[in-house]
Structure 1
Amino acid sequence: MKALTTLHPSQEQASFVGFVSGYLSPDSLCAIFESENSQELFRIAITDSGIIRVYWVNGDDVYAILQQEAGYPRTSWVPLQLSVTAFGWEITREEIRITVNHQGSFQIHTPSGNFELDSFLRQHHSLRCRLSSPASESLFGLGEKVGPLNKKGRFWTQWTTDVAPHEDETDPLYQAIPFALLGQSSEFRGIFLANSARSYVDATDTENLWFGVDDGPLSLYLIPGPQISQVVARYSALTGRMPLMPTFALGFQQSRYSYMTQNEVVEIAKQFRHWHLPLDVIYLDIDYMDGYRIFTFDPVRFSDPKDMISTLDKLGISLVTIVDPGVKYDENYAVYQEGHAHDHFISYLNGQEFLSRVWPGLCAFPDFAKSQTRQWWGQWNARWVALGIKGIWNDMNEPAWWGYTENERACHPDEEVGIVHRTSSGKELPHYLVHNLYALLEAQATFEGLRHASSLRPFILSRSGFSGIQRYAAVWTGDNTSSWEHLALSIPMCLNLGLSGVPMVGPDIGGFLDNASPELFARWIQMGVFFPFARAHTAINTVRHEPWAFGEDVLRIARRYIQYRYRLLPYWYTLMYQAHIDGAPMMRPLCWYDPSDKARNIDDQFFVGEDFLVAPILREGATRRHVVLPPGLWYDIWNRQWLEGPKEIEVEASLEQLPLFIRQGAIIPLAPRILSTQYWRDTSPWPASLWVLPGHGRFDLYVDDGRTTAYQDGSFSLIQFSVHTTEDSLSVSWQWIRREFYRDIMNQPVILRIGPISGTIHHVSLNNNVVPSSRIHHAILSIPITLTSDGKVDVIFSRSNHH
């Protein structure tokens, strides 16, 4: 395959597309356009949610074939009307109008976003087209990419690749997510290139974007907005939304390549408890295995895994183990024996089993395109977690392979020629059309195996993936580096993954490669606990990266921020529910709420949900930073003062301080002080308190059992909290929206904290009963309430200043 640097047509000979006839399909669900020899060239259809699909026919649609084989939900299409015009054709559906001319240009008009597509070109098997995109329009999404938040100005490739280290110019990376989110002023729109072949987005043209694929159809889903949240919601509905993960997935997690013995693992766990550090998960990297054979423990170094797992459980810590797709070529090894006997491995066209070296040596690789293989793989994973393991970590699943002989370099796409996959119906698919889907299909196999074996929610972490990986797994950003550059880089990387439909995402806290300094680790853990997925991890031959390894000052900082992460767990859990319902990222860029030109280019700050603005320190030695405050009133938690935006400020930030601001009218549910999510599960109120900041706001608190899939059958509760503030009064009310899930612990008092109130409080009532003035301390009103029914607190006060 030729490495491309541009999709512009000037450097190569390419044929143009033209139409001579257009007509509706018999069911009127798509418009079909043909060439002179009656060859079908294009189809246009519209989904029931208003997404327009422009589809250039070109060989097998492997993505659609495997979607259907894997049982993905079918897209619902709506009937169209087609009329002939002087210049070509016009397609209409309610307020959507699409004009098509004989040269193959498309003008698409919707009430909430327009698209202009032209220059459809073919060269051999590859296809490309041009989308008009003015220079003022920002480009977001594209999954996991280096560089700034706005991706304009570069050429981007979607091809799942094992690469370490990655730097500012590295592309592609582990994930392949061909979704572009475009925005200018207050109008956003999206484009999903639904093709599993290697694909490209060329953003080097000032006024246009070029989309291209190496093979297969040019299948474009054009997603109108106009709001950024609407585009992400429609895209995530198309590719799938994350299920609720077990609550421990939101806790702090610790890993190393590798913890070498079960005694070391237990000692790490005990050290976390000794230092009063919250922790929910410890990971086992590849060295726990017997000769790197998956689904095995080393018989000497991990001689009693059940005892190790039991000890961890007593400490409130779950075990997650790495499972790579490479199955060691060993005729005495049960996993290989079964896979070989039942034809579960990838092969060449002649039927010979494909083998390549990874960590165990020569390996065979499951063919996840086949449903029988996915089921077989899921069963092995289910048996594995039956030992008490709580989750699966999928690595090396790009797939990464290093060649047949020891001195070969890593396989290049050109070296994958001749490798094929076979579907359950026997259809042969070349690997280069399945490559990008390999990790997605593996994650699906693992997820379904765990889901069918237990009522407990699966937890899977995946390094690689394609659009839709969020249906099965959390994602981390791979082998980053312990550097200030990578500390800063992780913000736009994770923001764009969130905008690409992947909400549960985070970097290796502290950096994987090289050694973190105490200052760097402190700044990273401050920031890292505000990412959806919070795991510290480091490579072999690095210094220890556990929080106590950097001295007492860093340990104290780590403890404080990890504890704050745990206090916010009810807030995080509700954000996870929101992502499950509408695809909204848990970690959001400033332009999610402020689409101005300035906000669209800010990538060193971010929101957690709607209410927290996080502005990390990203430079060595820095003790202050520039902060852009969005419109509205913001509470500076360190200086305990209200600041009014929009404006730009300089804030102090000693090593102990992460600049953090909370929106006026925020309602923040807080958990009790705990060391593990297991400890509040059955014994503590959830939440333990609610912090209400004066203003106008609403928060819908989500509650369920945190462990099982019972929520899918309606076993969950929603409580809607709201705050309304005037010049001389404030009211907080709560109302049960749904109470199918109800726990006795919710009969316990929850502390409602209101404030700071800038003024003199004269009267407070709870459900019309007077509350004594002893509940007021330092402008904070603290009232014990119960959430067994709807309720209301009213506060009467007089202002002492403007706020």
Structure 2
Amino acid sequence: MEDFKKCTDAAFCNRLLGARDEGYYIDPASVKVFGPAVNAKLLNKATGADFTLTLKAYKGFVRLLVDEDASRKRFEVPGVLMHDLESREGSWVMKAQTSESWQLRCGDAELQLRYSPLQIDISIKGQPVMSFNSRQMFNFEHKRQKQEGDPEGWWEETFKGHTDSKPRGPEGISFDLAFPGMQHVYGLPEHATTLSLKPTVDLADNITSEPYRLYNLDVFEYVADSPFGLYGSIPFLWAQKLGFTVGAFWLNAAEMFVDVGKTDAATFTNWVAESGILDLFLLLGPTPAKVSEQYAQITGTTALPQYFSLGYHQCRWNYRDEADVRQVDANFDKFDIPYDVIWLDIEHTDGKRYFTWDKNLFPDPVKLQEDVASHGRKVVTIIDPHIKRDPGYNIYQEAEQNHYFVRDKDGKDFDGWCWPGSSSYLDMLNPEVRSWWAQQFSLSKYKGSTPNLYVWNDMNEPSVFNGPEITMPKDNLHWGEVEHRNLHNLNGALFHQATAQGLVERGKAVFGSDGDRPFVLSRAFFAGTQRIGPIWTGDNSADWDHLRVSLPMIMSVGIAGLPFNGADVGGFFGNPDAELITRWNQVATFYPFFRGHAHLDTKRREPWLFGEDATRRIREAIRARYVLLPYIYTLFRHANTTGLPIMRPLWYEFPEVEATHGIDDEFLLGPALLVAPVLDAGAESRAVYLPGTGPWYSAKTGEVATPDSSGALSVPVTMDDVPSFLRGGHILPLRERARRSTAAAKHDPYTLLVALDSNGQAAGELYLDDGSSFAFQRGLYAHRLFTFKDGLLSSQELPGTPSRYSTDVAIERIVVVGLRQPASSFSVTEVGSVKVLQAGAGPVVLAEGVPESALVIRKPELPIAGDWSIRLAVTA
């Protein structure tokens, strides 16, 4: 980690973190209200510098903007905010005005704007929830002329032999944000650490650890517990106490540090960024779901993925050649393990020239892709952002001629070092470059590609092996003479966006107007990446610490609006033994993104290479994933429409249960399935916490779980066990037949698993569409609502959704757990029919058996996308 800066190595952080302000106040005469906006002039007592301050009301959140005046305006992050954001504007209601402050109301929130010193306090229903600048740490470094005697680091600084010229001088911003009564804050991904962020300072501002850093970097073999910033950054923080959940999002793509301090009375945070403006959104909740929805209104919801992308992915650096790929593909069938995608890393190219193939290793890539596709599977190739500086390489040649590359501080095309050696980097801030890049994915330009080929963007932080902190110099120049320092954390998302757009355009050219949804995995990310595609958590290691930390990492990224993410199964570095690789696959069954991946120097680790017992267990874990796919796809539709996460912390569903607020070794998949995976070698039992009043049912047996009065439960485990529990009150749609891929299961029937609550009721949903195109955007989908109440199980279209997608697929089994009488006392009659379906016995999904009280209905032959009801009648 010595290659990377700490706060004391970054001049702006060393200068501003923990620093008291210079006396910022609002000129009372300047305060004006224009509809949803309060405008005012903000002044610095010490320097006389003035700024513009705007406080805008929206439905569910408040926006605070501070910038220099029009003649000194700074870089504002483009392309992240939703285009319809202004349609969500609210209005301020004046409550009181004095010479010292204004009191305003917006919805359930009350806001007090204090003039001197500047302070903003927000309460909801009379409860204080946020306070801006209550500790007077707001600082906004104004534009100035260089003078002799200016402090060190203002105009130039050096780290590890790299000098940053800093031509605009100091432009840092800092502020403090307190959360009264709240002991837990979450978010600020990406960090390998606990979900509930640990304090980095104490009340007296004594440093207890490094602050949380947000600066996208290529971190080789990151440690499993550190506040150090990794490959992506989303400056979005959650805070919570009983009854209230709120959030804060700073739209700023420059390097950033955040301190966290805690007292019995509050959690306080101190944020600093190197440049940009203050564009701070304060999300008012007051529930976790509301915070997710509010953030989605600001930055967008999750792109609906292709169905195949939710299956299992097999990857390593690198599959050697076509014969190797074919052998791996065949072995999945030989060992009866489903999978959907096989991946090719950098070695498939001709000398690391992307969009090319090594003709000795991959002489006929089209035939290879077609053969893989004949099994219902896809291929992914890697496309990185560094372009080999080779005049004979058409991508480089065309980009160089059109001046499409990022420039160094002297205006020349930047020359950095990455996998191909000497490389140039495309300037994705320029919309013309993004458009040109997208065109390279057409079948006519990307020779050897087919419609069954999808893409992986790696190294897009960007990674520059010979650059400062293994990345690009901050004084490099982008389109419009924007310095790289202003958009560093956005860089990877722009590259990701352009790549995905290329696949969208290819899909329309091949399939027509409904096209083909893109699948592009990215390592770097920023706010808004959820609208583009998935990410993964980077170069982890094959050890139990990295398995454990994968859970809070995935959940932290998920609640920050980017739910389609996962960790490399088995660890990228190192060699997992049979126990670790088995346990990791058992956990990853429930990851939103499920991919096995490994480093070039590791031993081969395909699922059948760890012995017969491990093969069987990994097969069961991957098959269990395919059983759950209808439920998972439905969760992704909710993420697509509302922004809700897929893999959820316990507190997300149970914010009123204080004991859940610090738990991050268990999680919920959606609202209905709680997973407490085995995360320790040699474990013979697993301590589980089951929140709420229940009931909870074992997902393995259907039996009611019986924790003690505190909610604690000790579960004995073997290597076959993954402690998981069905939440009473929910209905899960499943597909239980074992198939080789999602395509092979397209016409398979469904199972409905009904887990009753204490009132004998349950509800659940199933979302259906073609799984690949954009036709759902014009209403070609079905969204079913299943309900069970008073013995009546019904299916109907979710209110407010169209019924324009039809399928002849039926339900082959219904399992009801939680009945108060044994199954033998029931018969089942379909409403509107004289057909009687007899109760039976049989295994629950993911199960070895069912409790005596369970009801199993075989072959009801009910349409999955049709309206129907069946009543369970006691036969005595």
TM-score calculated relative to the size of structure 2: 0.85
Match of 2:728 in 1: 664
2:7 is the counterpart of 1:4: yes
1:700 to 732, 757, 765: 765
SS at 1:662 equivalent: strand
Describe the shift of the 1:105–1:420 C-alpha distance in structure 2 as closer, same or farther (beyond 3 A): same
2:789: which partner in 1?
724
Kindly state the Cα deviation for residue 121 of structure 1 after the two structures are TM-superposed: 2.4
Of the three residues 133, 136, 140, the one matched with 2:179 is 133
Aligned partner of 2:754: which letter? V
Aligned to 1:752: 814
Distance 1:2 1:24 in 2: 43
**In 2, Cα distance between the equivalents of 1:226 and 1:39?**
35
The reply on whether 1:794 has 2:851 as its aligned counterpart is: no
CA contact (8 A) 2:37 2:54 kept: no
Instruction: Extract unaligned runs of 5+ from structure 2.
Output: 142-169, 201-210, 508-514, 842-851
Aligned-partner residue type, residue 862 of structure 2: T
Mapped to 2, the partners of 1:413 and 1:332 lie a distance apart of 27
> Which amino acid in 2 is paired with 1:674?
R
Residue correspondence of structure 1 range 178-193 to structure 2 within 5 A: 178-193=235-250
Whether the aligned pair in 2 keeps the contact of 1:129 and 1:210 (CA below 8 Å) is yes
Per mean C-alpha deviation after superposition, the further-off stretch among 730-739 and 259-268 is: 730-739
Question: 1-side partners of 2:665 and 2:424: how far apart?
Answer: 43
How much does 1:133 deviate?
Answer: 2.6
Equivalence for 1:16:
23
1:785 aligns with 2:861: yes
Q: Contact 1:256 / 1:285 at 8 angstroms: preserved in 2? A: yes
| Aligned-pair CA distance for 1:40 | 3.0
Structure 2 CA distance for aligned equivalents of residues 163 and 522 of structure 1: 26
What SS is found at the alignment partner of 2:440?
Answer: helix
Cα distance change on mapping 1:61 and 1:605 into 2, 3 Å? farther
Tell me how far 1:532 sits from its aligned partner: 0.6
Q: In terms of mean alpha carbon deviation, does 271-280 or 34-43 score higher?
A: 34-43
Check whether the contact 2:16–2:172 (CA below 8 A) recurs between aligned residues.
no
Any idea what the Cα deviations from partners look like across 1:95-151, whole Å, max 9, x if unmatched? 543222221111223448632111122454212111223474201111221111100
CA distance in 2 between counterparts of 1:147 and 1:342 reads 44
Post-superposition shift, 1:640?
Answer: 4.1
1:27 to partner: Cα distance: 6.2
Letter in 1 for 2:37: L
Q: CA deviation at 1:13?
A: 7.2
Tell whether 2:672 aligns with 1:611. Answer: yes
CA deviations 1:765-785 (Å, max 9, x no partner) are: 211546647432264321413
Q: Aligned partners of 1:33, 1:92: CA distance in 2, in Å?
A: 21
Contact 1:703 1:741 (C-alpha < 8 Å) held by counterparts = no
Q: Does 1:503 align with 2:554?
A: no
Q: Which residue of 1 aligns with 2:151?
A: none
- Cα 1:94/1:513, change in 2 over 3 Å: closer
The letter for the 2-side match of 1:642 is V
Q: Provide the residue aligned with 1:406 in structure 2.
A: none
Q: How far 1:65 sits from its partner (Å)?
A: 4.1
- What are the residue-to-residue correspondences of 1:420-439 with 2, within 5 Å? 420-422=477-479, 427-439=480-492
Cα offset, 1:74, TM superposition: 4.4
Aligned to 1:765: 829
Aligned to 1:293: 353
The aligned residue for residue 582 of structure 2 is: 522
CA-to-partner distance for each residue in 1:328-368, whole Å, 9 max, x for gaps?
00000000011111111101243210010100001111100
Alpha-carbon distance in 1 for matches of 2:819, 2:286:
37
2:54 partner SS: strand
Structure 1 residue 52 and structure 2 residue 62: aligned?
A: yes
User: Which residue identity does 1:475 align to in structure 2?
Assistant: I
Tell me if the contact between 1:176 and 1:467 (Cα under 8 Å) persists in the aligned partners: yes
1:2: how far off? Answer: 7.8
Which deviates further from its counterpart, 75-84 or 14-23? 75-84
Aligned to 1:310: 370
2:460 pairs with one of 394, 397, 406: 397
CA RMSD of aligned residues (A): 2.4
Q: Summarize the Cα distance change of 1:780–1:466 in structure 2 as closer, same or farther, 3 Å threshold.
A: same
Greater CA drift, 300-309 or 639-648: 639-648
Partner Cα distance (1:635, 1:144) in 2 = 34
Q: Is the 8 A contact 1:286 1:322 kept in 2?
A: yes
After alignment, is 93-102 or 347-356 more displaced?
A: 93-102
Establish whether residue 161 from structure 1 lines up as the match of residue 217 from structure 2: yes
Unpaired runs of at least 5, structure 1: 404-409
CA distance in 1, matches of 2:116, 2:227: 40
Relative to structure 1, the CA distance from residue 552 to residue 414 in structure 2 (aligned partners, 3 Å threshold; closer, same or farther) is closer
How far apart are the structure 2 equivalents of 1:186 and 1:92?
20
Distance 1:678 1:789, change over 3 A: closer
Q: 1:582 aligns to what? A: 642
Secondary structure of the corresponding residue to residue 549 of structure 1: coil
CA deviations 1:664-720 (Å, max 9, x no partner) are: 232111123321111133x334xx221222332211211100010001111111111
| Whole-Å separation in 1 of the counterparts to 2:15 and 2:413 | 40
**What secondary structure, in the 3-state scheme, does the structure 1 residue paired with 2:289 have?**
helix
* Structure 2 residue 120 is the aligned partner of structure 1 residue 117: no
Supply the distance in 2 between the matched residues of 1:306 and 1:145 (Cα, whole angstroms). 39
Alpha-carbon deviations, 1:12-35, whole Å to 9, x = none?
A: 575231222332266663422333
Counterpart Cα distance in 1 of 2:838 and 2:196: 52
- Match for residue 713 of structure 1 among 778, 788, 794: 778
Q: 1:377 is paired with a residue of what secondary structure?
A: helix
**Residues 28 and 81 in structure 1, CA contact (< 8 A), matched pair in contact too:** no
Distance 1:552 1:24, change over 3 A: same
State the match for 1:411 in structure 2.
Answer: 468
Identify the residue that residue 116 of structure 2 maps to in structure 1.
102
Distance 2:432 2:368 in 1: 33
The one of 442, 456, 466 equivalent to 2:516 is 456
Equivalent residue for 1:35? Answer: 43
Distance 1:79 1:13, change over 3 A: closer
CA distance in 1, matches of 2:197, 2:120: 25
Give yes or no for contact 1:75–1:238 (8 Å, CA) kept in 2. Answer: no
Contact 2:17 2:174 in 1 (8 A): no
Q: Hey, what's the Cα distance between the residues in 2 that align with 1:10 and 1:470?
A: 30
Of 628, 638, 642, which residue of structure 1 is paired with 2:704?
642
Residue 150 of structure 2: aligned partner = none
Please state whether the residue corresponding to 2:631 is helix, strand or coil: helix
* Count of residues in correspondence between the two structures: 778
Q: CA distance change for structure 1 residues 41 and 245 in 2, over 3 Å: closer, same or farther?
A: same
Residues 31 and 80 in structure 1, CA contact (< 8 A), matched pair in contact too:
no
Normalised to the residue count of structure 1, the TM-score between the two structures is 0.92
> Structure 1 vs Structure 2: percent identity of aligned residues?
29
Structure 1 CA distance, aligned partners of 2:755 and 2:105?
48
CA distance in 1: counterparts of 2:358 and 2:331, whole angstroms: 24
Which residue of 294, 300, 308 maps to 1:248? 308
Partner SS state of residue 176, structure 1:
coil
Taking a change above 3 Å as real, the CA distance of residues 716 and 744 of structure 1, as seen in their structure-2 partners, is closer
1:547-586 aligned at under 5 Å gives the runs 547-586=607-646
